[in-house]
Amino acid sequence: MRRVAGVVLIMFLIAGLNTGCKKKEEQITPKAGEIPAVPLQTPMGQVPAQPLMSPHGDGAGMGPKVEKAIVVPDSVKGKWSKVILAVEDKGSGKTDEYTVNLKSEFKIPGSDLKIAVREFLPDFKMTEDTITSGSNELINPAVRVEIFEKDKSVFKGWLYEKFPSIHPFNHPKYAIMLKKSIKS
């Protein structure tokens, strides 16, 4: 009788391992305008349901590049005229600051770098298809730039005043950061 009870107990344990330990996957439904969340990990041997994509649309090796419309709200247009960019020479550790007009180009003295300064957004916000400013307050200041080295584009993106390490300009000799913005 003990052997039969032992065999039955073992069968229940095996059956429990095969059926009772499976966890039901949660379905996440994104809100309108949001980028759907992709799990950071998937079960071994499975491919994510959708390709990984950088929320900044820069490709970043994570999926196709997504061009986003840049919308400067009327409450922001014409209110900001200049930005102050900090340029650090990584070799010497020396940092110089330059005041640059929006929608202009600036050559960094003593280098082969030129910066095209584009739009400034005092409260940078991004949805799936739009980059805009949530207000005219300096909540998340960012400036869009394109950086050229020897007339070849080497960087296109946003420099963030409060978060300089997010998508920074990577260069062996120079670091370029948004230091401050100036109202018109």
- pLDDT-wise least confident of 7-11, 102-106, 127-131: 7-11
Mean pLDDT in residue range 33-58: 42
The predicted pLDDT at position 87 comes to 97
pTM score of the predicted model? 0.67
Cα dihedral across residues 169, 102, 58, 75: positive or negative? positive
The predicted pLDDT at position 132 comes to 98
- pLDDT band of 137, cuts 50, 70, 90: very high
The predicted pLDDT at position 34 comes to 45
Mean pLDDT in residue range 34-39: 42
The predicted pLDDT at position 10 comes to 57
For 51-88, the pLDDT digits (tens) are 434 444 444 445 566 789 999 999 999 999 999 999 99
Angle at alpha carbon of residue 141, lines to 145 and 59, rounded to 5° = 50
Residue, of 11 and 91, whose pLDDT is higher: 91
Contact 74, 135 (CB under 8 A): no
Our measurement of the distance from residue 83's CA atom to the centroid of its chain's CA atoms, rounded to an integer in Å, reads: 21
Q: What is the mean pLDDT of the chain?
A: 79
Contact 76, 121 (CB under 8 A): yes
Mean pLDDT in residue range 153-159: 97
In whole angstroms, what is the distance from residue 21 CA to residue 42 CA?
A: 17
